[in-house]
Structure 1
């Protein structure tokens, strides 16, 4: 069973997985990796959750409020040992549910175009996300793509 709980992105138990996440993204996206570090994930307009299987950190995700009706999925990641076990889907469903509960009309995300992003893109599309243009402060590039979900 997966336990998803609100957490502190600067907590020691998050550090290694967050560092892995940022390093992997920067290795394929360079200057176009917009994932937030612990400081960014601790901002007042961001809610951060961790997913646990027993005592093992299985992943994390965050929801950033862009405005009163628009949220953004941020820094969603399953731990390498938990990939393919439904952690990503559970986290995404959790974020979507929280976005709906907050009254958002739309939930968007920015992700990469590299091969490593393809499993996540398939997950987002299965959840109903569709391609859209850049939102918030993002700029279009060959390294990123944008998806949105009407809630």
Structure 2
């Protein structure tokens, strides 16, 4: 599949649609108080960079973002791939772009929070194949049975 990954504003209808699909997918997997979702407006903030994968027709098919917390730590947020295209390396392409940007900006560590309940296994596999390792709770996330945390030293 011909694919381009680039930095884009999340304030576009197709990206808003992907965020809505991601939220709908996540909603039944964890209690609402353990879902830490950035809104599209938060994703458009100066501390976040959104990466969008588009196919040859220009259709947005995957996304993810890098949220910078301080001069050394960045967080992977809002990873999503269209369900019918999963397993084709799109998530890895987005994750690679996030890591490259983190390195370019001098970050030393990437962290992330994802769900710990059934349904998150593909996310765990993606992050682990990308060199992330399970770690204790990061940033200001509560440690709970609904969250799994990962980190990667850059």
Same fold judged by TM-score > 0.5? yes
- What's the counterpart of residue 39 of structure 1? 41
Unaligned runs of 5+ in 2: none
Unaligned runs of 5+ in 1: none
- Aligned partners of 1:66 and 1:72 also within 8 Å: yes
The offset of 1:81, in angstroms, is: 2.3
The offset of 1:114, in angstroms, is: 2.1
> Which of 58, 69, 82 does residue 66 from structure 1 map onto?
69
Structure 2 CA distance for aligned equivalents of residues 13 and 24 of structure 1: 17
- What's the counterpart of residue 85 of structure 1? 88
- Equivalent positions of 1:80-119 (< 5 A) are 80-119=83-122
Q: TM-score, normalised by structure 1?
A: 0.95
- Aligned partners of 1:35 and 1:75 also within 8 Å: yes
- What's the counterpart of residue 16 of structure 1? 17
Moved over 3 A (4+): none
> Which of 110, 116, 129 does residue 132 from structure 2 map onto?
129
The offset of 1:25, in angstroms, is: 1.2
1:145 aligns with 2:148: yes
The offset of 1:56, in angstroms, is: 2.0
Structure 2 CA distance for aligned equivalents of residues 10 and 47 of structure 1: 12
CA RMSD of aligned residues (A): 1.1
Q: Secondary structure at the match of 2:18?
A: helix
Aligned length: 151
For residues 52-97 of structure 1, give each alpha carbon's deviation from its aligned partner in whole angstroms, at most 9, with x where no partner exists: 0112211101000011011000001111122111100111111111
Q: TM-score, normalised by structure 2?
A: 0.93
The offset of 1:43, in angstroms, is: 1.6
- Aligned partners of 2:4 and 2:54 also within 8 Å: yes
Flag the structure with higher helix content. Answer: 1
Structure 2 CA distance for aligned equivalents of residues 95 and 148 of structure 1: 13
